[in-house]
Chains A and B, each alone.
Chain A
Amino acid sequence: MTHIALAGGALLILIGVWGMLTKKNIIRIIIGFSLFDTGLHVVLVGLGHLKNRTAPIIDSDLPREAAASRVVDPVPQAIVLTAIVIGLAVTAVLLAFALKLYQSRKTLDISELREGNND
């Protein structure tokens, strides 16, 4: 299970980077970034997984004393939550830029969006 998650995550990362590097449409590039980000999150969770353990939620089924031996590592899970939020914010900013760029030049082609580099 862990291996599948890690491999899948790695694959997502690669697909995402490929998308960012090759696609010409800004929206697709942003989607590439999202895939890259999601792949990272999967890897994050995958690395924190421990075999045969449960989610780190202490409730009636899981007494506090038994937690240390029965739950997966909670830190990557906390990290991934934060990372998802940050990824969302970054994506939102990117989309905001995409919108403004489209409004100013009426195109989403990234090769059209360069300015003043040979001055």
Chain B
Amino acid sequence: MINPILIIAIALGTAFSLGLLKKLGRELSFAITLIALAAMAFISAQWLSAFLTYNMLGPVVTTAGGRAPFVIVLQMGHMEALFTLLINVMGVMGAFYLHDRLTENGNGAMAVLLAGIMGLNGIILTGDIFNLFVFLEIASIATAGLVLLVTDFKSLTAGFKYMLASGLISGLFLLGIIFLYNTTGTLNIRELLIAVPGTIKAGSVASFLVMMAILLEMKPFPANGWGIDLYSGAPAGVSALIASASATAAYFVLIKLLPLGGTVAYKIAAAVGITTFVASNLVALSQRSATKLLGYSSIGQMGLVVGIYGLNYHLGSKAFLIIFSLLGTHYLAKAGLFWLSGIVQSTEIDKWSALRKSPVLFVLFGIFVFALMGFPPFPSFFGKWELIMGLVASKLYWWAGAILLGTMFEGIYLFRWFSRALKLDNQELAKPRSTIYTFVPPLVFAILLFPAGYYTSTYTGGIGIMGFAPLLFIMLIGFLDFLPAYIKNILSIAGVAAYSWYLWPHVQGNTFKIVFAGIFMGGALLALFAGFYRRGKHLGFYPTTLLMFLGLGILVDASNLMELFYGWELMTIGSYFLLIRGERSLPHGYSYLLFSLGGSLAMMFGFGLAHASAGTIELSALNHIHVLPALAYSLMLVGFMTKTASLGFHIWLPGAHGEAVADIHFMASAVLLKAGVFGIILVLSGMGNSEPYARNILLVLGWIGALTALIGNIGAAFQESAKYLLAWSSIGQLGYIVFGLATMTHLGWLAAYGYTITHFLYKGILFLIIGGIAFRVGTADMYKMGGLIKRMPFSFLAVLISIITLAGIPPLVGFTGKWIFYNMIVSEHMFYQGLVVIISGIVAFLYLFRLIHVIFLGQLKDKNRRVKEVYPWLLIPAYAMLIGVMVLSMFPNTLLGPLGRMLSTAFPKGALHWDGYTASTAYGTFNMPIIMAVIGSTFAVVFLWLLLANRRAVKVKQFNIFYSGEAPSRPELTHFGYNFFAHYKKAVGFMAVPLVTRFWDQVSEGLHALAGYGRAIYTGNAQSYLFHIVGFVVAIYLITMGGLS
């Protein structure tokens, strides 16, 4: 084993010799610096591997030939090994990134960097509190020196403010140290920790000052203006070092010294840390500068881990796992983002769209942002999950709530930044230039996030290998993105088929899972098949699509809540990238992601309560929760309803789906929405309907479902775009399903299941066909189409059959669903909700009639005279689903039979009674083949009669008419298909007014106003910042004296 003191010796020796060897040539000096840093990293690494391999105690290295406490000691334990490794790796990468600046500024700059890294190592290793002070000072002086690598005004002011603030803070620290020494007679940290509790009274001012200093080093809100200016003012490479290496070292000081303050210190750390997390992220909401955002986010993240350390007694054995996963993610991702900010060369977030010109860098950007936000498969996902589970289990609800709120704020600004970079126009912007030096460090850190995530998961359990292995396949597809789309399509279909083959034994025998696995995997195969119509490369489409379907697969396969959540989040990432692909999808994709994030945070809290109640995260934990059950079930339902786009959470859907192209629209609407249904079924199965709170929840849920159906259908009736029409219609259809489930009756669930499956089929057909038509015609606005029946007869037939099904008109399967619904409404006496559902069913006729009439009937537009039939790649899957619709229409018992048998275990009362093809309830009977025969023959008779009667009619050619000589200014106004239901709009249009949109807009405005108010404290004036520090100390002192102790 290499003596750890060599870490310090190497750094110091190299730094001094660099000063002496100025003639050496800067590249050589740079190489020497890197080698020295790498050697330091190696020493830490071999200690860490030794600690992980053997269960041993680390050495205590004494200096100056004496023994502790008379001399300074260095301590190397497993924590020290890990933390110095983090710092030294960051040293290597950070120095590598700073190559240009270091060689430009010469050996002195490299010596300063080495001294800084040495200082940080010393902070970790030293066992002497005064020595710690010395290393802190070395590190901060070196930091200020590194800030000077760029001598623009911004860096100068930032560095000056930083030096002043850190001078004041270390003064406090020094004062605390000498008081500690005065009361205990030692400076050795280990002895102090033993001595202090005995002398707590005399030492209270001493430990208070030390504690304040270490908290202030973590830049707590609001005494952190200097920190934010430092992050945004320093050169990007230096900010990365500060965010990752310095913050990590400062955090270790906190771990080492906080016990000096006793239990009060933990309480203060918890309060200060979590407040910092929430407040920093709130204030950041109104920021538009990328480096400032990163500064706020860094401070917030460090606040979070400080708070967690303050709460660690409540988190038990998982505390350090949580801390390391969050700290590690922050370390990798924040450094990466700061590095990228140096490449982009613009602090304005809107200019980051330039990064798209270097796709690899952009992918890294995405990885870092999603990792920071705690999405799988990154370590923070597991950390955040365990954190919320632990806090909720310890009944620390407000803490958990505050953390979730802070996370939401962070998501709002990080995702806004990312979404804008993803979508905003970048024609005018120059391609960001990266060299090998600036490119490698972020690449390495982004790659490291993946194994780090897997490694973390092995400690938490819950996610099996099948949560990760398919990701490798998806990455492979990502690497092959340069290939033409059809090759990737074939590979993707193979991948989905393989996964389905794996999934089948897991769902076999479970009707519930078979239904959803069928929708998800079947939908995947059909959608990918349809994807063959695409030309070109279709960059980025396949990895994200597969990610979404993997998430859906894991969702069905999940055996515990963590896996469920893991799948849910993977699906969210994938679907976000799909939905934001549309041309004008920026705001919709962004709001989709925010609703999803909010929903999943709510859901996580709900799962936490389930876990606290059952003591396990198995799926059975959802049954009969007894810890705050009403809150738990409501939160979970809210979480799942963000995906079903139920009333209140539906505003993202029309835009996101309406802008999507055919196959994506199909996936998003016919398939993805069903994930929410899956979740609601799980939750409701666990909740039951016997408890009073459950009945209240169900009542609300039922009304939400019914009103969603109404609003969705009314919304659909007033759309000009066929795609938006279908999107609104999906909202309405999902409303039926939610309503059916909320009744908690056999028939209600049967109808809901039936709708889930048939909606997949008929909506699938409509999305593919209408999307295909829009692609051919070049617009989705219905009044620009018309007469297409002549050009696209196959499309017409498919649309006709699916809208008959959708409308619930006999003889097709939609009628079956409606019939069951009406039976249920009568038998359950749900007349009010029933009325709403019936009215919305009538509204559905309106928009469906418009859909087929305006697109296919009427006059063919001149420019569409040569338009071709929809691609066969879209027609084939559509007709495959059409066959499904016809089979289910003729033999509904093939579907309803097994579903009914499954539901009879949960709802034995009120089942359908089957006798051959005849189903009966207390109110009547139903025989689909007979209905079909009757309707079919009636239709045939009328059709024949029309043929006969029209024999003598004169056929008029399309252009056998004349215009009255006026050219209308807005031609669409003269089109019958435009504003088709103007008369209805006058009557009930107020219901389609986006009240809900306005509500969310106001929430957003309010938050931004609050953020602006909070930001007002950051004046940029160094003296205000110093005053904040003094004020912070005084305030905490008063609060502590006031009650906590």
Contact = CB atoms under 8 A, between A and B. Distances in A.
Interface stretch (B150-158, B380-388, B394-402, B984-992): B150-158
B570 interface: no
A111 to B, nearest CB: 6
Interface in A78-119: 79, 82-83, 86, 89-90, 93-94, 96-98, 100-101, 104-105, 110-111, 113-119
A7 interface: no
B234 to A, nearest CB: 13
A118 B181 CA distance: 44
Contacts of A43: 175, 178
User: What 7 A-B pairs come out closest when comparing CB atoms?
Assistant: A114-B1020, A117-B1020, A97-B160, A86-B137, A47-B182, A113-B157, A44-B178
A75 interface: yes
Interface string B591-616: 00000000000000000000000000
Interface residues of A, number: 41
A93 B233 CA distance: 17
Given A37-B171, A75-B181, A111 B1021 contact: yes
Given A36-B171, A47-B179, A105 B163 contact: no
Given A20-B1023, A105-B153, A89 B164 contact: no
Contacts of A96: 148
Nearest to B166: A90
Interface in B363-407: none
B137 A94 contact: no
Contacts of B187: 75
Interface of B: 130, 134, 137, 141, 144-145, 148, 151-154, 156-157, 159-160, 163-164, 167-168, 171, 174-175, 177-179, 181-182, 187, 229, 232-233, 288-289, 292, 347, 1015, 1018-1023, 1026-1027, 1030
A44 B164 contact: no
18 contacts: A13-B171, A17-B168, A22-B1023, A36-B168, A40-B174, A40-B175, A47-B181, A75-B187, A76-B178, A82-B134, A83-B174, A90-B163, A94-B163, A97-B156, A101-B156, A114-B1022, A115-B157, A115-B1020
B130 A79 contact: yes
A89 B157 contact: no
Interface centre among B229, B1023, B1030 (most CB of A within 10 A): B1023
Given A104-B151, A114-B1019, A116-B1020, 13 more contacts: A37-B171, A44-B178, A47-B178, A47-B182, A76-B178, A89-B141, A90-B137, A96-B148, A101-B157, A101-B160, A105-B153, A116-B289, A117-B229
B156 A100 contact: yes
A29 interface: yes
Interface string A9-28: 00001000100111000100
A20 B1026 contact: yes
A94 B171 CA distance: 15
A33 B167 contact: yes
Contact of A104 (B153, B179, B229): B153
Contacts of B347: 119
Contacts of B141: 89-90, 93
Contacts of A105: 153
A7 B266 CA distance: 32
Contacts of B177: 79
Contact of B154 (A90, A94, A111, A115): A115
Contacts of A83: 174
A37 B166 CA distance: 12
A18 to B, nearest CB: 10
A26 B1023 CA distance: 10
Nearest to B159: A97
Given A20-B1026, A97-B144, A101-B156, A89 B168 contact: no
A43 B181 CA distance: 12
A116 B347 CA distance: 11
A90 B160 contact: no
A100 B148 contact: yes
Contacts of B154: 115-116
Contacts of A36: 167-168, 171
A117 B1018 contact: yes
Contacts of A44: 174, 178
B145 A21 contact: no
A103 B680 CA distance: 66
Interface of A: 13, 17, 20-22, 26, 29, 33, 36-37, 40, 43-44, 47-48, 75-76, 79, 82-83, 86, 89-90, 93-94, 96-98, 100-101, 104-105, 110-111, 113-119
A29 B164 contact: yes
Contacts of A33: 164, 167-168
B164 A20 contact: yes
Nearest to A80: B178
Nearest to A44: B178
B153 A94 contact: no
Nearest to B186: A75
Given A114-B157, A116-B232, A97 B163 contact: yes
A53 B527 CA distance: 90
Contacts of B1026: 20-21
Contacts of B156: 97, 100-101, 104
A99 to B, nearest CB: 10
Contacts of B151: 100, 104
A113 B160 contact: yes
A103 to B, nearest CB: 9
A100 B134 CA distance: 26
Contacts of B174: 40, 44, 83
Given A20-B164, A117-B229, A110 B182 contact: no
Nearest to B187: A75
Contacts of A118: 1015, 1020
A43 B171 CA distance: 11
Contacts of A82: 130, 134
A98 B160 contact: yes
B1027 A21 contact: yes
Contact of B144 (A40, A93, A101, A111): A93
Contact of A40 (B130, B134, B171, B182): B171
Interface centre among A44, A93, A104, A111 (most CB of B within 10 A): A93
Interface centre among B134, B145, B167, B179 (most CB of A within 10 A): B167
B232 to A, nearest CB: 7
Contact of B289 (A17, A113, A119): A119
A116 to B, nearest CB: 6
A89 B187 CA distance: 23
Nearest to B151: A100
A104 B154 CA distance: 10
A54 to B, nearest CB: 20
B609 to A, nearest CB: 42
B178 A79 contact: yes
A116 B137 CA distance: 28
Given A97-B163, A116-B154, A89 B137 contact: yes
B967 to A, nearest CB: 50
Nearest to A82: B134
B167 A94 contact: yes
A38 B644 CA distance: 66
Contact of A119 (B182, B288, B1023): B288
A111 B151 CA distance: 20
Contact of B167 (A47, A90, A100): A90
Contacts of A119: 288-289, 292, 347
A77 B834 CA distance: 87
Contacts of B148: 96-97, 100
Nearest to B160: A97
B145 A93 contact: yes
Given A93-B144, A117-B1020, A20 B168 contact: yes
A85 to B, nearest CB: 9
Nearest to A22: B1023
Contacts of B175: 13, 40, 43
B222 to A, nearest CB: 14
Contacts of B1018: 117
